[in-house]
């Protein structure tokens, strides 16, 4: 893991280090490239592979889903077995630890309560002579939720995606989860039951995204797809956007910690590793104003790495994407953080709330040493599906409004229409849209 000093390397070099690669620039591991070449007869890029899968599923439906599930997951499955049955959910219930289920239920209640506060309202206002303007808030009819199932199981992601959709009033929430040997992690199934998912399908990868976007004989077409995934899932969401909506293009997990001299290096190192264990591509950065603290954090990362079961994954992440920057002051640290626009931003400083007005780009902010990132991942209530890869500059955290549409309402009286008729006619004519002007003119010239 690098430690660099902004005073020594210069601002432009640090900005370059903080820039994120686009999904299209990520190079596939050689074993995946060899695998693709063996199946498809040529060395495909990630984008080319995903486009092929999406097009195939779009036009060949369940047959393509079955084919790719066999190729990529080495799983024999037929369309009749895509859907998780009530019997499978009951079997999962008998396999779980009740204490874990109690924790999931408490987390679900926190998430539900928090998202209830986000509900916008329909409204009507009166203008002029009893004319009406308004806004209708309408939930989406059906949404699809993707839950990863590769390197780990994520019941928390089930809660974070399904509960806001249900709070929004979505009529049907379907879920796709890759299976292992035809089985889904029992805690994922129990989280789906707690959150209120309506249907669960045992498919994953780009083929699952395509199936939800276009529909198959077995899997219903959705209006929107949410949820995190690997590069293939992300690129598939990008590919289907426009045929349905998506929440965001989520990449590998990220944490950026701003730490002053008051920060505890043990906490900072632990929080870096909490993200590094997700994925070798995960990114963990500390920006500190204290050079001595930087060395202590680095030493703690090395020490704590030895204790975690997912050491190999975390070590690869820290080696390739771990970084400690020594900034000249807190203003510079915040400036660098805004350039990075991290998924998770922790403020391990003496007065974290003094920094909040200066922070412009972050998926979620964790203020103070008693608010570590895992608190948000699992339990506090705010959503953990967050923009990554610098997209916090323009994307928002997944929330209730992700699952809602706004429809405008306009109802004028004749008197109010006549009062503005000439304005509308002038504006339509200046744009050369004479039929627009005429639609007003015919009403103007007709008897009431």
Our answer to whether residue 344 is catalytic in this structure is: yes
- Long-range CB pairs of 65-70 (<8 Å, 24+ gap) are 65/203, 65/207, 65/208, 65/211, 65/216, 65/219, 68/205, 68/206, 68/207, 69/203, 69/204, 69/205, 69/207
User: Cβ contacts of residue 242 below 8 Å, gap of 6+?
Assistant: none
Q: Are the C-beta atoms of residues 398 and 161 closer than 8 Å to each other?
A: yes
> What is the C-alpha separation between 54 and 237, in angstroms, rounded?
10
CA distances from 233 to 126, 150, 357 (A): 46, 12, 35
In 3D space, the residue among 11, 13, 19, 26 whose CA is nearest the CA of residue 340 turns out to be: 19
- pLDDT class for 338, splitting at 50, 70, 90? very high
Q: If you search the block for the tokens 């620039």, which residue do you land on?
A: 25
> What is the C-alpha separation between 387 and 372, in angstroms, rounded?
18
Can you tell me the mean pLDDT for 202-215? 96
pLDDT digits (tens, 9 = 90+) for 368-382: 999 999 999 999 999
Per-residue confidence (pLDDT) for residue 231, from 0 to 100: 85
> Annotated catalytic residue: which of 88, 254, 277, 343?
343
Q: Where are the alpha helices (DSSP H) in 253-356?
A: 265-276, 291-305, 311-321, 330-340
Flag whether pLDDT at 6 surpasses 60. Answer: yes
Flag whether pLDDT at 235 surpasses 70. Answer: yes
Q: If you search the block for the tokens 């660099």, which residue do you land on?
A: 4
Q: Are the C-beta atoms of residues 68 and 207 closer than 8 Å to each other?
A: yes
Per-residue confidence (pLDDT) for residue 158, from 0 to 100: 97
Q: How many CB atoms lie within 10 A of CB 369?
A: 18
> Annotated catalytic residue: which of 239, 278, 332, 344?
344
The whole model's pTM is what? 0.91
Q: Which domains does the chain have, with CATH numbers?
A: 79-248+400-404 (3.40.50.1980), 251-393 (3.40.50.1980), 412-444 (no CATH)
Can you tell me the mean pLDDT for 248-272? 95
Flag whether pLDDT at 424 surpasses 60. Answer: yes
Flag whether pLDDT at 151 surpasses 70. Answer: no
User: For the chain, how long is the longest CA-to-CA vector?
Assistant: 86
> What is the C-alpha separation between 211 and 220, in angstroms, rounded?
8
Our answer to whether residue 141 is catalytic in this structure is: no
Can you tell me the mean pLDDT for 411-438? 97
């Amino acid at each position: 893991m690098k430690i660099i000093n902004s005073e020594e390397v210069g601002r432009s070099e640090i900005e370059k280090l903080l820039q994120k690669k686009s999904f299209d620039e990520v190079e596939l591991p050689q074993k995946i490239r060899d695998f693709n070449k063996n199946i498809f007869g040529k060395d495909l890029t990630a984008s080319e592979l995903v486009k092929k899968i999406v097009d195939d599923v779009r036009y060949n439906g369940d047959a393509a889903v079955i084919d790719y599930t066999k190729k990529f997951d080495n799983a024999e499955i037929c369309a009749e077995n895509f859907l998780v049955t009530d019997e499978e959910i009951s079997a999962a219930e008998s396999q779980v630890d009740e204490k874990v289920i109690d924790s999931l239920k408490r987390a679900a209640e926190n998430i539900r309560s928090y998202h209830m506060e986000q509900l916008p309202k329909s409204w009507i206002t009166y203008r002029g002579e009893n004319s009406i303007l308004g806004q209708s808030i309408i939930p989406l009819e059906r949404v699809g939720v993707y839950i990863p199932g590769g390197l780990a199981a994520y019941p928390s992601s089930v809660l974070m995606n399904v509960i806001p959709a249900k709070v929004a009033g979505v009529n049907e929430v379907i879920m796709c989860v890759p299976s292992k040997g035809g089985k889904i992690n029992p805690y994922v199934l129990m989280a789906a039951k707690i959150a209120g998912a309506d249907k669960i399908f045992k498919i994953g990868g780009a083929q699952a995204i395509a199936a939800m976007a276009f529909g198959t004989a077995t899997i219903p077409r959705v209006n929107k797809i949410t949820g995190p995934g690997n590069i293939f899932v992300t690129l598939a969401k990008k590919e289907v956007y426009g045929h349905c909506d998506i929440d965001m293009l989520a990449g590998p997990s990220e944490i950026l910690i701003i730490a002053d001299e008051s920060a505890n290096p043990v906490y900072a190192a632990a929080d870096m590793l909490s993200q590094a264990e997700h994925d070798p591509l995960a990114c963990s950065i500390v920006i500190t104003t204290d050079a001595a603290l930087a060395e202590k954090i680095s030493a703690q990362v090395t020490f704590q790495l030895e204790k975690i079961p997912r050491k190999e994954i975390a070590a690869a992440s820290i080696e390739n994407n771990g970084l400690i920057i020594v900034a000249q002051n807190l203003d510079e640290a915040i400036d660098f953080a805004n350039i990075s626009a991290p998924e998770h931003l922790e403020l391990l400083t003496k007065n974290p709330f003094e920094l909040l007005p200066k922070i412009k780009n972050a998926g979620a902010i964790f203020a103070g040493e008693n608010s570590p990132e895992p608190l948000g991942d699992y339990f506090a209530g705010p959503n953990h599906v967050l923009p990554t890869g610098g997209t916090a500059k323009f994307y928002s955290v997944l929330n209730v409004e992700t699952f809602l549409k706004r429809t405008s309402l306009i109802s004028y009286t004749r008197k109010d229409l006549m009062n503005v008729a000439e304005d509308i006619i002038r504006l339509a004519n200046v744009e050369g849209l004479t039929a627009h002007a005429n639609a007003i003119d015919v009403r103007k010239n007709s008897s009431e």
